[in-house]
Amino acid sequence: MSEERAVQQVLAMYVRGTDARDGAAVAAVFTEDARVEISYNNSGKSEPLGELAGRDAIAAAVSQLMKPHPARGWSHHTTHDHIIDVHGDNATLDAQFVVFEVRGKERPATGWPEGASGAQGTVQPIEAGYYRPILRRVDGVWKIATLRIVHNLPFAFPGQ
């Protein structure tokens, strides 16, 4: 496997772990001293939204602070247009992302209505932006040292 593909797979493992709300799986792709920096791109002006320091804090945020999925609900992160630069044991990646909320309809007790066909439910985009991780090879394995998440939509937080 090429170094670029190995770096890209780290991001793929991150988004799958995040979708599953699996803090341990997400923590496994980070260095022990990793940082996550989250911001909003407000018309070209970066507005910090939050920061996590250390693998344990990152794992806790994913498994305990992220909103759980509702019944028959899921999220799907997709990443696109990866720009990857590898220099020895260091690499950067810049990828666009879109997060989709997926909600399956509950099957009626009497069965699906006459004429129903195919997938039943909704898929709606809910987030978009850029993932910009800085990676370091540790004991032969690529890990995220710093993950910059740049959102293109503003965020509302309870109490603000």
Rounded distance between C-alpha atoms, residue 126 and residue 124, angstroms: 6
Sign of CA dihedral 15, 20, 23, 27: negative
Instruction: Return the pLDDT at 157.
Output: 72
Instruction: Return the pLDDT at 89.
Output: 97
Mean pLDDT over residues 81-95, rounded?
97
pTM for the complete prediction?
Answer: 0.90
The string of pLDDT tens digits covering residues 2-41 is 999 999 999 999 999 999 999 999 999 999 999 999 999 9
Give the DSSP H/E element, type plus range, for residue 4. helix 3-19
Instruction: Return the pLDDT at 156.
Output: 80
Rounded distance between C-alpha atoms, residue 10 and residue 143, angstroms: 7
Label residue 136 by pLDDT band (50, 70, 90): very high
All domains in the chain, ordered by first residue = 3-151 (3.10.450.50)
Instruction: Return the pLDDT at 72.
Output: 87
Assess whether pLDDT exceeds 70 at residue 160.
no
The string of pLDDT tens digits covering residues 43-83 is 999 999 999 999 999 998 888 876 777 788 889 999 999 99
Assess whether pLDDT exceeds 70 at residue 154.
yes
Rounded distance between C-alpha atoms, residue 113 and residue 110, angstroms: 8
- Beta-carbon count within 10 A of 107 CB: 11
